[in-house]
A and B are shown apart, each in its own frame.
Chain A
Amino acid sequence: AQKITQTQPGMFVQEKEAVTLDCTYDTSDPSYGLFWYKQPSSGEMIFLIYQGSYDQQNATEGRYSLNFQKARKSANLVISASQLGDSAMYFCAMREGSGGGADGLTFGKGTHLIIQP
């Protein structure tokens, strides 16, 4: 079974609109971390936001916020006031465990977001 599911292969959004990128996850570990990364066409992997499983509040970083619904195992990324430069692939990723053991991240298949002027 997929550990990270991103159901939107591609999205077109008008500039200045808010965007929600979906991510659901599957784990039986009570301690885990959820990450969102942006990958522009140039290829680099840019960290956007992190949510720990025990965090009481939803994470926010500037225009990015994470809508964390633990019971539904959902960690959607919300981008407010989208910009042309937001056009990129977006990956949701999970680390199981509290970080000890240098566990690798498991990535979803990604969502290709295109912002239209």
Chain B
Amino acid sequence: AAGVIQSPRHLIKEKRETATLKCYPIPRHDTVYWYQQGPGQDPQFLISFYEKMQSDKGSIPDRFSAQQFSDYHSELNMSSLELGDSALYFCASSLEQGYYGYTFGSGTRLTVV
């Protein structure tokens, strides 16, 4: 069965650079969520989109932005990267805004040096 696809799997950036993470949800899933998991931490919810509109917002820094496109894939854009942004970034997708549960991608590991 198709899963949630995230790219790239690994990314190394320097401080103050910009990074773009991509997420391709399971076909027919209409909702996408982004989470950030720092080293040894629990995942923190960043933002979600339902039918291409921003739906819920968590602890997302102002330097980050995201959108969901017409084909339902989503991109998380991070600017002015800081060392503290080094983390595992998960995308999850669901049907009907999570009523039937969530499927997570394998994550993108971002390292800021």
Contact = CB atoms under 8 A, between A and B. Distances in A.
B33 A104 contact: yes
Contacts of B92: 45
- In which size bucket is the chain A interface? 20 to 34
A43 B55 contact: no
Interface string B41-60: 11111111110000110100
A102 B99 contact: no
B50 to A, nearest CB: 4
Contact of A91 (B42, B45, B103): B42
B32 to A, nearest CB: 8
Contacts, number: 73
Contacts of B44: 107
- In which size bucket is the chain B interface? 20 to 34
B112 to A, nearest CB: 17
Interface in A1-38: 33, 35, 37
A102 B101 contact: no
Interface of B: 31, 33, 35, 41-50, 55-56, 58, 88, 90, 92, 94, 96-107, 109
Interface of A: 33, 35, 37, 43-47, 50, 91, 95, 98-110
8 contacts: A44-B106, A45-B90, A45-B107, A91-B42, A91-B43, A99-B98, A102-B56, A106-B45
